[in-house]
Copies of this chain bind each other. A is one copy, B any other.
Amino acid sequence: MGQKTADPRAASAPAAPLTQRQEARRLGILAATTRLASRGGFDAVQMRAVAESSNVALGTLYRYFPSKIHLLVATMQDQLEQLHETLRKRPPTEADPAARVAGTLMRAFRAMQREPHLADAMVRALTFADRSVSAEVDAVSRLTTAIIVDAMGLPVPPGPEQLSVVRVIEHTWHSALITWLSGRASIAQVKIDIETVCGLIGRR
């Protein structure tokens, strides 16, 4: 009676396998979301509009993504995966680990500047998410961590102290992004903040 079988994508791995059609639908929804978000930001991503724009019924949209927040967090995950891919192909070249991390984050930041509305939608969703989205937000967080750890060029299993530093960098990254998106900090200030926090790297 209760469960209507598994959602088509509970967290990431151990969910229903998704047929081709379903995967295509999912991607279509994410594409529509990106499109709408790139225009009007968070507010423009209206569930009815997403459904229409991706040729899917509202109920179906909600079956794939149980809330607007889930949808936008999934979009962020999508974008981050692309970024991670790009970064793997052309990794940062700076000599100093701290500079590599700062450079990587600034690259990501520049990508956000190109699509500020999209960035707005994704970041607002990320920080507004409550416990019901924690699994998905966690996935995004792991991705971000991976990107930073890669940039640091750490030996595979980083120690707990290094992980703390990475977490603090991630905190600063998110929060600085928010202050920029809400117009309370300039691009230059975000840069300074990122560089400042990267000063934590390579110290004990």
User: Footprint of B on A, CB under 8 Å?
Assistant: 42, 124, 127-131, 133-134, 137-138, 141, 161, 164-165, 167-168, 170-172, 174-176, 178-179, 182-184, 189, 192-193, 196-197, 199-200, 203-204
Contacts and interface: CB of A to CB of B under 8 A. Distances in A.
Given A171-B171, A172-B175, A131 B182 contact: yes
Q: How many copies does the complex hold?
A: 2
Given A165-B196, A199-B200, A182 B130 contact: yes
A168 B197 contact: yes
A139 to B, nearest CB: 11
17 contacts: A42-B130, A124-B130, A128-B128, A130-B182, A134-B184, A137-B184, A141-B184, A165-B196, A168-B193, A170-B175, A171-B172, A171-B179, A171-B193, A171-B197, A174-B175, A175-B175, A200-B200
